[in-house]
């Protein structure tokens, strides 16, 4: 069981090796490991380090209050799991690909943007809030980045060496918005019909990256949507649908279905790419444990948002989102942050706090919640 008291693994890197499709959840094996020279990340708000707000500048406080002391393009009070992971590897935090000022791409790049989907959106950001930077767009950005690096011949001081791509780690943490965007209107069963297309797109992306030299992959599954304060507030459900921990069983079952699809298709991809390492990361189990037993991990509140409006069990109101204010019944009300985000699992009802992200990263780095491992045993 991962606890908040666990110290983030002191290691210069994760380790890489081929992963068998029959591997069981990994216990870290003793062996020789090497560091990754760079990380390239694809995803949504769970791993966006500033891409969305670089494209659409507007993020304000209290985002970033815990670690950065100001908004830092992250949907959290501080660092994300990807931040902790690259820091544990001895690498700097990833610069967003879309950020033109102050970026340094020598150790990787982050193509993730808030509100991104795996599948190409059929609507506008300004209509539904879905990011235009879907996974296919992020992949094309990666290819353009790679072409630019190769054509630079290593002469650009803020770009990596042209030979870095075959040795880098490629992380993929996306899919949540494909699942949640139509839940309110279509329900779980309707959404489930689109999920095979979602995991297929992730599979094709990995194979496309493999074809341009990528060999080390880490793919995150989906967190338990049924436990998030925002969805507990917004999505229709009955009291009978709540489990003993206050999470919605119907929506949680849909997430489990998606995660099984993802795990199975990654096993198939491993068979095709046996010289590649493809790690399935079970973020779902870690987050579910935090929502169910926050006190066991040094936290106090599971299904209650730190930054929100309305108080109550969830402290979330979709009409007054974290950091915003609105006139309600003739009075101005605001969704403000709690004074102790280190005690919460949920930052704003949708995203994790820095405290929760650190626990997730600890679990990822230890290998305890990964299907297969990135370590090579000693010969």
For the chain, domains (ranges, CATH) are: 32-374 (3.40.50.1110)
Among the options 252, 277, 351, 370, which is catalytic? 351
Bridge partner residues of 326 (DSSP):
333
Q: Where are the alpha helices (DSSP H) in 29-171?
A: 51-55, 81-88, 125-128, 135-152
Mean pLDDT of the region 106-121: 97
Is 70 exceeded by the pLDDT of residue 314? yes
Active site residue 45: yes
Among the options 44, 48, 77, 348, which is catalytic? 348
Whether the CB-CB separation of 166 and 146 falls below 8 Å is answered with: no
- What's the token pair of residue 281? 């990361």
The residue among 12 and 304 whose pLDDT is bigger is 304
Whether the CB-CB separation of 36 and 168 falls below 8 Å is answered with: yes
Active site residue 284: no
The string of pLDDT tens digits covering residues 5-54 is 222 222 222 333 333 333 323 323 333 334 799 999 999 999 999 999 99
Whether the CB-CB separation of 119 and 176 falls below 8 Å is answered with: no
Ramachandran class of 322: left when φ > 0, alpha when ψ lies in -120 to 50, beta otherwise: beta
Is 80 exceeded by the pLDDT of residue 335? yes
The contacts of residue 193 (CB under 8 Å, 6+ apart) are none
SS3 of residue 303 by DSSP:
strand
The string of pLDDT tens digits covering residues 257-296 is 999 999 999 999 999 999 999 999 999 999 999 999 999 9
Is 90 exceeded by the pLDDT of residue 125? no
Q: Please report the DSSP string for 100-135 in residue order.
A: -SS---TTEEE---TT--SSPPSS-HHHH---S--H
DSSP letter for 374, please. S
Mean pLDDT of the region 168-175: 98
**Closest of 315, 307, 285, 320 to residue 353, by C-alpha:** 307
Q: How many residues does the chain have?
A: 379
- What's the token pair of residue 358? 């650190």
**Closest of 321, 355, 358 to residue 341, by C-alpha:** 355
Among the options 45, 76, 116, 134, which is catalytic? 45
Q: What is the pLDDT of residue 3?
A: 37
> Which strand (E) or helix (H) includes residue 304?
strand 301-305
The string of pLDDT tens digits covering residues 174-194 is 999 999 988 877 889 999 999
Mean pLDDT of the region 100-104: 94
Active site residue 131: no
In terms of Cβ atoms closer than 10 Å to its own Cβ (0-12, 13-18, 19+), residue 16 is buried
**Closest of 111, 43, 34 to residue 81, by C-alpha:** 43
**Closest of 261, 279, 245 to residue 369, by C-alpha:** 279
The residue among 4 and 230 whose pLDDT is bigger is 230
In terms of Cβ atoms closer than 10 Å to its own Cβ (0-12, 13-18, 19+), residue 377 is exposed
Whether the CB-CB separation of 16 and 277 falls below 8 Å is answered with: yes
Is the entire prediction scored with pTM above 0.95? no
Whether the CB-CB separation of 227 and 245 falls below 8 Å is answered with: yes
Residue 222 phi, psi (nearest 5): -95, 140
Return d(Cα 124, Cα 118) in angstroms, integer. 15
């Amino acid at each position: 069981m991962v606890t908040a008291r666990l110290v983030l693994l002191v290691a210069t890197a994760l380790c890489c090796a081929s992963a068998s499709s029959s591997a069981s959840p990994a216990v870290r094996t003793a062996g020789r490991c090497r560091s990754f020279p760079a990380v390239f990340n694809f995803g949504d708000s769970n791993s966006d380090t500033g891409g969305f707000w670089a494209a659409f500048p507007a993020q304000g406080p209290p985002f970033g209050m815990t670690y950065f002391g100001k908004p830092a393009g992250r949907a959290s009070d501080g660092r994300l799991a990807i931040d902790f992971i690259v820091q544990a590897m001895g690498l700097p935090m990833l610069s967003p690909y879309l950020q033109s000022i102050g970026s340094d791409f020598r150790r990787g790049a982050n193509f993730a943007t808030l509100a991104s989907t795996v599948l190409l959106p059929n609507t506008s950001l300004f209509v539904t809030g879905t990011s235009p930077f879907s996974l296919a767009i992020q992949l094309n950005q990666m290819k353009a980045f790679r072409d630019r690096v190769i054509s630079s011949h290593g002469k650009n001081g803020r770009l990596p060496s042209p030979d870095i791509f075959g040795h880098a780690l490629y992380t993929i943490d996306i899919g949540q918005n494909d699942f949640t965007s139509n839940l309110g209107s279509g329900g779980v069963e309707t959404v489930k019909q689109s999920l095979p297309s979602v995991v297929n797109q992730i599979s094709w992306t990995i194979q496309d990256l493999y074809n341009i030299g990528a060999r080390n992959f880490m793919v995150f599954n989906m967190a338990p949507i049924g436990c998030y304060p925002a969805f507990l507030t917004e999505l229709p459900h009955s009291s009978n649908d709540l489990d003993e921990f206050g999470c919605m069983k119907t929506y949680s079952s849909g997430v489990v279905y998606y995660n099984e699809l993802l795990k199975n298709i990654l096993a198939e991809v491993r068979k095709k790419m046996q010289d590649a390492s493809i790690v399935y990361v079970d973020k779902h189990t870690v987050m579910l444990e935090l929502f169910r037993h926050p006190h066991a991990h040094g936290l106090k509140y599971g299904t209650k948002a730190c930054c929100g409006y309305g108080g109550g069990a969830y402290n979330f109101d979709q009409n007054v989102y974290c950091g915003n204010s609105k006139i309600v019944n003739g009075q101005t009300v605001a969704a403000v942050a709690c004074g102790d985000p280190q005690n919460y699992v949920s930052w704003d009802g949708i995203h994790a706090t820095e405290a929760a992200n650190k626990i997730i990263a600890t679990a990822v780095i230890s290998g305890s919640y990964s299907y297969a491992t990135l370590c090579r045993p000693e010969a």
